Structure 1
Amino acid sequence: MKPPSYNTEEVQRISQEQGERNVAMAVCVQLAGRAIIRVVSRCEAAQDNCNLDLSECQLMQVPDAVYHLMRHTELKRCNLSGNVITKIPPKFAVKFSLINELNLSHNQMSKLPEELSELQALKRLDISHNTFIALPPVTCRIPQLEQLLANNNSIIDVDVERLRHAPALEFIDLQNNPLTSRVHDLLQTLIEVKIELTPREREDWEDLTV
């Protein structure tokens, strides 16, 4: 029986591709390892200053290990900005019930859990630079929330009446959102809350004279 013949160039190409895959895998593992180390070290720092900064940690979600590491800490501030988080789990509000500042900016979120209304001490919430298409209703039910940053999203709709009756809201930033002209005009009638809005561009039909 003749031994199988091999195409030398083909073998070299396969070996090169395999080598490149191995290098890429090693780099990914190394990066993941660094990210884990960064998260753990920041959790340890938060145990001293009650300020958890997990910004720019390549997170797709809040790791369960974070809740475990912070279980004996009365967290006051939490920064999750600059990640690729798509949602916050309901248990977040249970585990971090005492926070007064929460920064969720520069992620990929389009909704918030209703359980955030249980954050009795939360005064400042930043959800800017995400993918919200409507202002999350729960933001109007957080009992002590005073400042809400929701700029640079894709927000079209806002429940203005719900916003009018928010228990403690004093300021909301809605700049750089594609609000409908109706919502934009309604928001300008609010006197209970200071609202930052991007000036509305007039529609073509509004410039027509009869």
Structure 2
Amino acid sequence: MTFVGDGLNSPRKQGGGMDCSEDSLFPDKYHMRNTRVLNVSMANITGLPMEVLETARQELVNVVNLDGNLLIELPQDLHMLSELLTELVLSRNQISYVPTNISQYSKLAVLNLSCNLLCELPMELAGLQLLRELDISHNRFELLPRCIYELQSLGKLVANDNRIKDIDASDQGLGAMINLHTLILNNNDIQMVPPLLGNLTNIKQLELWGNTFRLPRHQVLAMGTLAVLAYLRTRIPA
């Protein structure tokens, strides 16, 4: 496994150990013990050493932040923390797929996959029944993945800046998400906002700016979420 970062000019030692410059990228066990956080952001890493993850497991780390690196997939041995993690941040990497074993991270409450290369999510992600916040913004989704509709605890879904064309507001789609209170869909390619979306009165923050639909008009959008939902309800066929 290759690690690239600022100041990492010396080669890896023989025998698999990390040299001192690599070691300096990662928080020590005392920091992890005190914070329960493994934070390796903006370090240009392409993976995580097993020994770092082993230490994180020993110190009961429940938050991993890998924002702004060069990951093309989830770190190979990250599953070592699957029973501990409540928050996982993988934003601003080059990840093109999420493995099916994501279902093992059953305690996750926050998952940030923004600014990657994703166009789909595995159905196994529906197993994250404690997930409250999901950020898939700035990816390549053309539809909201079906697995999202089964996330019964999800309260906040951020999906702006994708290529989403349609919204499923039926009882098999967003209508099934009874705890959803925030839905961010700005800057997609949504051509029509379904009137049924107006029935989702549990939504308190709805953002639809920057799409291609003509209705609701900008004047209605500017009036806020309650006005948009009320307008949509008037367009539901009798």
Q: What is the TM-score when the length of structure 1 is the normalising length? A: 0.71
For residues 42 and 175 of structure 1, do their structure 2 counterparts lie closer, same or farther at Cα, with a shift above 3 Å needed? farther
Other structure's SS at 2:96 match: coil
Post-superposition offset of 1:146: 0.9
Structure 2: tracts of 5 or more residues without a match: 1-6, 13-18, 187-207, 215-238
Q: Structure 1 residue 177 and structure 2 residue 162: aligned?
A: yes
Post-superposition offset of 1:31: 9.6
Q: Structure 1 residue 56 and structure 2 residue 38: aligned?
A: no
Determine the structure 2 residue equivalent to 1:165. Answer: 150
For residues 170 and 69 of structure 1, do their structure 2 counterparts lie closer, same or farther at Cα, with a shift above 3 Å needed? same
Out of 99, 108, 112, the residue aligned to residue 85 of structure 2 is 99
Q: Which amino acid aligns with 1:175?
A: N
Determine the structure 2 residue equivalent to 1:15. Answer: none
Post-superposition offset of 1:41: 3.5
For residues 167 and 94 of structure 1, do their structure 2 counterparts lie closer, same or farther at Cα, with a shift above 3 Å needed? farther
Q: Which amino acid aligns with 1:100?
A: T
Q: Paired residues, what number?
A: 173
Kindly indicate whether the alpha-carbon contact (under 8 Å) linking 2:117 and 2:140 is maintained by their aligned counterparts in 1: yes
Kindly indicate whether the alpha-carbon contact (under 8 Å) linking 1:90 and 1:115 is maintained by their aligned counterparts in 2: no
Out of 91, 102, 111, the residue aligned to residue 125 of structure 1 is 111
CA RMSD of aligned residues (A): 2.7
Distance in 1 (alpha carbons) for counterparts of 2:10 and 2:77: 30
1:1-210 equivalences under 5 Å are 29-30=9-10, 36-89=22-75, 91-160=77-146, 162-180=147-165, 183=166, 185-186=167-168, 190-191=174-175, 192=177, 193=180, 194-198=182-186, 199=208, 200-202=211-213
Kindly indicate whether the alpha-carbon contact (under 8 Å) linking 1:38 and 1:57 is maintained by their aligned counterparts in 2: no
Post-superposition offset of 1:172: 0.8
Kindly indicate whether the alpha-carbon contact (under 8 Å) linking 1:81 and 1:107 is maintained by their aligned counterparts in 2: yes
For residues 78 and 187 of structure 1, do their structure 2 counterparts lie closer, same or farther at Cα, with a shift above 3 Å needed? farther
Post-superposition offset of 1:76: 1.5
For residues 71 and 100 of structure 1, do their structure 2 counterparts lie closer, same or farther at Cα, with a shift above 3 Å needed? closer
Post-superposition offset of 1:91: 4.0
Distance in 2 (alpha carbons) for counterparts of 1:30 and 1:49: 30
Post-superposition offset of 1:165: 2.2
Other structure's SS at 2:53 match: helix
CA deviation vs aligned residue, 1:158-206 (integer Å, no higher than 9, x gap): 234x3322232122100000112xx3x3259724234210132149xxx
Distance in 1 (alpha carbons) for counterparts of 2:88 and 2:154: 15
Structure 1: tracts of 5 or more residues without a match: 1-26, 204-210
Identity rate of aligned residues, in percent? 19
For residues 133 and 35 of structure 1, do their structure 2 counterparts lie closer, same or farther at Cα, with a shift above 3 Å needed? farther
Deviates further, 29-38 or 131-140: 29-38
Other structure's SS at 1:145 match: coil
Post-superposition offset of 1:87: 0.7
Distance in 2 (alpha carbons) for counterparts of 1:42 and 1:153: 33
For residues 138 and 55 of structure 1, do their structure 2 counterparts lie closer, same or farther at Cα, with a shift above 3 Å needed? farther
